[in-house]
Every structure is written in structure tokens, then in C-alpha cells.
Structure 1
């Protein structure tokens, strides 16, 4: 199949073909690593059936949901994402993390598709009411939202430091023969990045970066997502 695009130069095509070879090799490596991941032996069994808090609009309050109850019939895999709230002036849990918000902004719409195969939930150390209010403000409709506030889940699964600072981690748990085991977590965050690299531990669920990586400017240096942005065409001084 002809791969040339309108008016491109021979120089561009040579460079693009060389890049394409590297992209093909990267695709092979991605598939190989995915197969290696799937072949992991059973991980550690959970030490307790964690009791999460979940806002229940039918009663206008928080109900308790055990980790084991997150496994619905026919789905024996659970994907959990640890959502961060950043320290604020009035206590240890205050502002929703803009990065985590950007991630769940994108993931929320994919949840109905994911739930055809696996169970999915978002877990935060913040109170269930706080996380639910943020979800409503963002327009999330599908992601299951849980609070780990009164559990050791975050600390046990490396989503919290000794100083209780929160860390964005993704986890997979599996249920086999009635026993729940840890399968995988995004441990790449714990490995020091090489110079000029990003941690990339949750890039797989954050498509914004994949799109920016394919543009001339890339990720834009130190730019990171924000909870709000100026409206295009409207000056900052405008009401």
C-alpha cells in the first residue's frame, strides 16, 4: 500500500519509514510485555476484606462495601485506581488531584465497555461524600467511587507514603476459588526514571499523553493538566 501523503518530500518519507520500523519494534515489545504480564504467577492473597465507603443516593448516606463485593457474577478480575486528593490548608485531604481527574475524565466513558469483561472502581482516601461531589462536578457517570478512608488499603498497596501522602497507583486483583489475590500494580512509579523520562506508570489509562507524544512539541516540558482552563477566545479579565 502506498504510504505517501500529499506533497511530502523524499527526505520526510525516508525519515518516516525509519521511524515506522521502530514503531513496529515497539509494537512487538508491547505485545511481548503484555504476554509476560498475563503469565505472572498468583500474587499475594489480600490480608483482609477491606471495608470501603460508597455514597448511596437512595439513602443519602454512605454504605460499606467490602472488596470481595466488588467482584460481580461472571467477572473475576477487578481493576482499581487510587485517586489522589492533595493536602490543603484545612486538613490532610482537600483538593482533587488535577492529574487523577484528567485520568478519570477519560476512563469514566470507557467503564461501560470495560465492565463487559472486568470490574472497575476508583478508590480515594477522601471521604466518599467528597469524592462523589467531585465526580458530579466533572460529569462522571459510570465509574464506581469508593473511599478507603477507614482502611489500610492505600498503605498496604503502596498508594500512600509513611507521611500519608497519596500516590496514584493502579491495581489488578483476581478471584480464584473464592480467594482474592493481588495480580499486578503499576510499580513502574517506584522505579527511578531515566533522565528526560516521565514515570509513565499509568500512561496506559491516560490517552492524553499518547496523543501529545505524536505531536511536534510532545508533552510540552513541565506542563501538567489543570482542573480548569481559560475559555478559548475569552480573556482572563473577562467576567
Structure 2
């Protein structure tokens, strides 16, 4: 089926048809990559059942974060102990994710981890209206360095990692390693999950030099 919009020129329709085929090819490539991801062999066993702190100062084991699911996503928020504010890019990403948490949790579990104190994370949750986000402190654990959310020098890094649980066995499944791949652009390692960039990419001016600011 060929579609048309009011008053479009033949030149526009021809160019749009060419673009449509590229979009169809991209859709197929996305499905191909997703199938390759699902077919990954077992990842490495998690070295320890990390003990994270909730915002009330209680301890939560990593295994408990799975709840009733066998899959857990953990996003590392760049908000280290010496930071005066969280990373604006991370914050914009989490702003977009917040409204989807309830839908996500019907299929899998999710947590946001930061290398900061429970008190400061609680204050941040209120400041950013992130009440829906399951937010935890990774202080006093090696999780961030083990799973590339923190460099050996203590720099915070915006990694997302997926873990799977079988009985009492927890293994790493996938991490956003494209963050480390050379690129002519910013890493775009989580762009598929980020409404902001995907919508801007549909416009004539694209992303331009836009950089998100803190929404709070």
C-alpha cells in the first residue's frame, strides 16, 4: 500500500518511499540483533549477592530485587558521593523511564543504583519526582566497579546491565558495552530505550547540539 499526504510533490513521495525502505530494513536489523541477543550463551555468574541500601537505610540483597521475576535490569546513575547534582543526561533518561516502570515490572524487575548515600538519594528522589523508580545505594559494595558503572578512578559511568536468575544461580546476561565502542557520536548505548532522541530523530533538525538539563 502506498500512502500520500496532502499537497506532497512527486519528489517528496519518491524520497519518502526510498526512506521507507531504509526504515523497513532497519526494523529487520533491529529484530535480527534482538534475536542474537536472546541467543547469547550463559554469562558469568554474579560473584556475590551484593547488599544494596534502600532509601530508608535498610539492606536489600541483589537476589531480592528480582522479586517474582527471573530477569533484573540495573541502571547505574551517575551520581557519585562528591557530586552536587546527578548527571543531566542520566536524569533525562530516567525521566523518560519513570512513567513506564509499572508496565516494565509486569514483565521483569528493574532497579536504579547510584554510588551515593541513601539520604542523598532519598532527597534526589523527591527533587526529581522519581517516586516510581526503585532507587538504591551501591555504597560499600563493589557492584559499580564490577559491572562497569564506575571506573577504577571512581568516575561514574551510565551502564545498564541485565541479569537472569535460575533457582539460586544469578548470571549476567547483557551489558550496554557499546558505551565503550569508538564512535563519531556520543555513545548512544541506551538510545533504543530513550524517547527523547528517538523523537528528535524524526524531525528535520534532528538532535542538533541539544543537551538535556535537569528537569527539577
Q: TM-score range by the shorter chain?
A: over 0.9
Give distance in 1, aligned partners of 2:91 and 2:36: 30
Structure 1 partner of 2:121: 131
Given candidates 65, 72, 81, the residue that maps to 2:75 is 81
Structure 2 partner of 1:65: 60
Structure 1 partner of 2:4: 4
Give distance in 2, aligned partners of 1:162 and 1:55: 26
Shift of residue 94, structure 1, vs aligned partner? 2.6
Q: Which structure exhibits the higher relative contact order, with contacts defined as CA atoms closer than 8 Å and separated by 6 or more residues?
A: 2
Given candidates 97, 115, 138, the residue that maps to 2:105 is 115
Structure 2 partner of 1:225: 212
SS at structure 2 position matched to 1:122: strand
Structure 2 partner of 1:191: 181
2:42 aligned with 1:42: yes
- Count residues with an aligned counterpart: 216
Query: Gaps (5+ residues) in structure 2?
Result: none
2:194 aligned with 1:206: yes
2:158 aligned with 1:168: yes
SS at structure 2 position matched to 1:172: strand
Give distance in 2, aligned partners of 1:69 and 1:228: 31
Shift of residue 131, structure 1, vs aligned partner? 1.7
Per-residue CA shift, 1:171-203, capped at 9, x if unaligned?
10000121000000000001111x3x3311011
Per-residue CA shift, 1:106-163, capped at 9, x if unaligned?
1111010011110011000011221221121121221100010111100001111121
Q: Give me the CA root mean square deviation.
A: 1.4
Give distance in 1, aligned partners of 2:71 and 2:20: 35
Structure with higher strand content: 1
Give distance in 1, aligned partners of 2:121 and 2:12: 48
Structure 2 partner of 1:232: none
Per-residue CA shift, 1:89-117, capped at 9, x if unaligned?
xx623311111111111111101001111
Relative to the length of structure 2, the TM-score reads: 0.96
2:100 aligned with 1:106: no
SS at structure 2 position matched to 1:15: helix
Pair member with larger Rg: 1
Q: Which runs of 4+ in 1 moved over 2 A?
A: 91-94
